[in-house]
Amino acid sequence: MSIRPDTSVQYLKGIGPKRAARLAKLGIRTVEDLLFHLPVRYIDRSNPQPVSAVKIGEETTLITRVQGTNVRRTRKGPLVQVLAGDSSGQITAVWFNRPDLQGTFKPGETLLLSGQVTFYNQPQMVNPFFERLDENPDFFKSPIFAVYPLTEGLGTWEVRRAVARALDDLEGMTETLPRHILDKYEFPDILAALRAVHRPQRMTDVNRGLSRLRYEELFFFEILVGFRRNALEYAAGGQALEVEGSLTEGFLSNLPFQLTGDQKKAIEEITADLSVPRPMHRLLQGDVGSGKTVVALHAMLCAVQSGRQAAMMAPTEILAEQHFAGWQGILAETGARALLLTGSLKGREKEENRKRIAKGAVDMIFGTHALIEENVEFGDLALVVVDEQHRFGVLQRAALSAKGEVTPHVLVMSATPIPRTITLSYYGDLDVSVIKEKPAGRAERTTKLAYDSRSAGVYRWLAERIERGERAYVVCPLIEESEKLEVSSAKETFEELKTFIKPSRMALIHGRMKADQRSLAMQRFRSGEIQVLVSTTVIEVGVDVPQATIMIIRHPERFGLAQLHQLRGRIGRGPRPSRCVLLLPSGLSPQARERLKVFAATEDGFKLAEEDLRVRGPGQIMGTRQHGLPDLRIADLLRDRNTLEAARDDAFSILSEDPRLSGYPRIATTVRRRHSESLRMLGVA
């Protein structure tokens, strides 16, 4: 059969169903996927070195003959040793933890070794990359030679052969980028680029090929973002709201504080959007504690004074309750009727609330995912607010919007501070308002590291502070596999703390508690009746008790930095200085400790998010998949920032001139072939 880009890899000679299944683990299903699976490094053997010329400490590649082999038993398992050399000298190669290599090297065979040279009696290489050249005569065909990331049960040779076959037999792989773009950047065409990265003649070929492929990945990514934006812009409806009126005026004049300049600006931007008959799609971004809620409430009141409804969806019940309860006083004075809808409301009350929402007997609805359940209907929904939007998928956001008869205005809020270029590339379909300024009157917050082995000292210090009337969170380790374990570790911490602090001053709070018990505990903490809240990560987002000044986090190494920053954001919200203590377990790796040190020294959420982005990739941080966008495999949002911006400009300018891509069949077919899943999720299939 002919090999086409969308042919399944299992039809490549030498692959078959078993190996295809292994490739699928790397996300490789089609021939095109395989061709975009790029080498991790290259071995340049254009000028092979004699063994005698190796330098200790350098990376080098040698072609040697095996002279002898040996296996030593060690406590950690067998150690495979090979004595190899050429006419000029000798070198030892050793492999730890590779029992599979025992007895496989034969004296006399030709062996390529590549790795760093160390010294132990004589030059040696530890766990070098190797190739058995007698078995792979193809090797000599190419001066530079690609090494692929491996997966269990798939050798680099197997991948290389499959790639070679695909490159040789490929039919119908037509150019994917428009001519003007190829010309603009002097990119090689698609096949030349693929050949250059998989079978280069010179290392400079690799770079030329790579820059095109990176650009290409980002370009199609941005085409998807652009599609999503267009889908929103062309969405029907949208109705203007009354942005000036007695409710918003009353609300603003009753606030117990002065709005910051950034808050005012965000309010202006939002009211400008709301006052025209086109649905708003705005992202309100601001570091933890910057005061986004009040801006959102103002927008909601615009809907109410237009005689319509507004809903705010939060990712946790605690947060929904807080929005509802915390602002009830001020909202009540405006005359707006507010109500709470969460999963744990009792049957009758829930039913009652649902009826009131449907009849339009309430104006402002606060809730959780419960808001998007099928049986929830709104009388007249004009504005949707999604708090901590990174906790929701694109589908959930859409589900809430779909509750409006006419497309409602949408405001999404996020505290994950993402570098601007990247925000634009992910949320290119949203307008962005940013709150940078912190509200006035916030005292300093410091973060310190301490060792778990010294926890008694930390807890004694905590007890002293509690004695003086301060309030604290003690956050228990994140245990991703099991909420149950997480809860039991929180209980343990609670028991441990009893030796230091009177139990009557503490409460435990976690995700498996009944909702009313949990809100009671929150309530008591808020009022100061208790002073220590021992909690799991349920308090991660949004919880707002300005009097809390201490946070102790156990096993901070289990959290991402952005997540730790969110947690830490629970303190430092009031006029008293506050302190966060990270309790490190013993045996933490130097890298992990370094990362936490950086965290302790940095208050800038943007910097931390970048660091996270670098270490963990964007998918983890922003839920790429949930946003309907594919994971990036070749390009890197941080490293390739400039390329990203170029790709975005190019993609958007094509789409603004030709939204359906009718004049760009290459782009259109490529997107459909490569990103059918994203297209479906984005609802533009």
Question: Is there binding between residue 3 and ligand ADP (CB under 6 A)?
Answer: no
Question: Is there binding between residue 542 and Mg ion (CB under 5 A)?
Answer: yes
- 140: tokens are 């000599």
Q: How far is the CB of 241 from ligand ADP (least distance, A)?
A: 22
β pairing state of 381-386 and 309-313: parallel
Partner in contact with 260, chosen from Mg ion, ligand ADP, none, beta carbon below 5 to 8 Å by kind? ligand ADP
Q: How far is the CB of 390 from Mg ion (least distance, A)?
A: 12
- The interaxial angle of helices 317-334 and 515-527, nearest 10 deg, is 60
- Angle among Cα 345, 346, 349 to the nearest 5 degrees reads 85
Of 115, 546, 585, 683, the residue at the interface with ligand ADP (CB under 6 A) is 546
Segment contacting ligand ADP (CB under 6 A): 180-188, 281-289, 404-412, 462-470? Answer: 281-289
Segment contacting Mg ion (CB under 5 A): 265-273, 301-309, 535-543, 651-659? Answer: 535-543
Measure Cα distances from 235 to 277, 300, 380, 515, 658 in Å. Answer: 12, 21, 18, 38, 17
Please identify, using beta-carbon distances, which residue of 260 and 489 lies nearer to ligand ADP: 260
Q: How far is the CB of 323 from ligand ADP (least distance, A)?
A: 9
- 26: tokens are 């790397």
Please identify, using beta-carbon distances, which residue of 294 and 487 lies nearer to Mg ion: 294
Question: Is there binding between residue 573 and ligand ADP (CB under 6 A)?
Answer: yes
Of 96, 119, 140, 257, the residue at the interface with ligand ADP (CB under 6 A) is 257
Please identify, using beta-carbon distances, which residue of 193 and 284 lies nearer to Mg ion: 284
Question: Is there binding between residue 544 and ligand ADP (CB under 6 A)?
Answer: yes
Site string for Mg ion, 375-394 (x = CB under 5 A): --------------------
> What are the two backbone dihedrals, phi and then psi, of residue 441, each rounded to the nearest 5 degrees?
80, 20
Of 439, 617, 659, 683, the residue at the interface with ligand ADP (CB under 6 A) is 439
If you write DSSP's letter for every residue of 170-205 in order, what string do you get?
B------S-HHHHHHHTPPPHHHHHHHHHS-SSHHH
Please identify, using beta-carbon distances, which residue of 194 and 413 lies nearer to ligand ADP: 413
d(CA 610, CA 561): 9
Dihedral angle sign, alpha carbons of residues 218, 221, 222, 223: positive
Question: Is there binding between residue 294 and ligand ADP (CB under 6 A)?
Answer: yes
H helix runs in 476-538, sequence order: 483-498, 515-527
Please identify, using beta-carbon distances, which residue of 218 and 314 lies nearer to Mg ion: 314
Q: How far is the CB of 297 from ligand ADP (least distance, A)?
A: 9
SS3 70: strand
Of 124, 290, 423, 537, the residue at the interface with ligand ADP (CB under 6 A) is 290
Specify the amino acid at residue 253: S
Question: Is there binding between residue 292 and ligand ADP (CB under 6 A)?
Answer: yes
Torsion angle (degrees, nearest 10) of CA 645, 647, 651, 653? 50
Residue 476, phi-psi category: left (phi > 0), alpha (psi -120 to 50), beta (remainder):
beta
Segment contacting ligand ADP (CB under 6 A): 258-266, 376-384, 593-601, 674-682? Answer: 258-266
Q: Which 3-state string (H, E, C) describes 653-682?
A: HHHHHCCCCCCCHHHHHHHHHHCHHHHHHC
Contacts 24+ apart (CB under 8 A), 613-616: 613/418, 613/419, 613/422, 613/637, 613/638, 614/638, 616/560
Segment contacting ligand ADP (CB under 6 A): 150-158, 284-292, 555-563, 657-665? Answer: 284-292
Interacting residues toward Mg ion by CB under 5 A: 542
Interacting residues toward ligand ADP by CB under 6 A: 257-260, 263, 286, 288-294, 415, 439, 542, 544, 546, 573
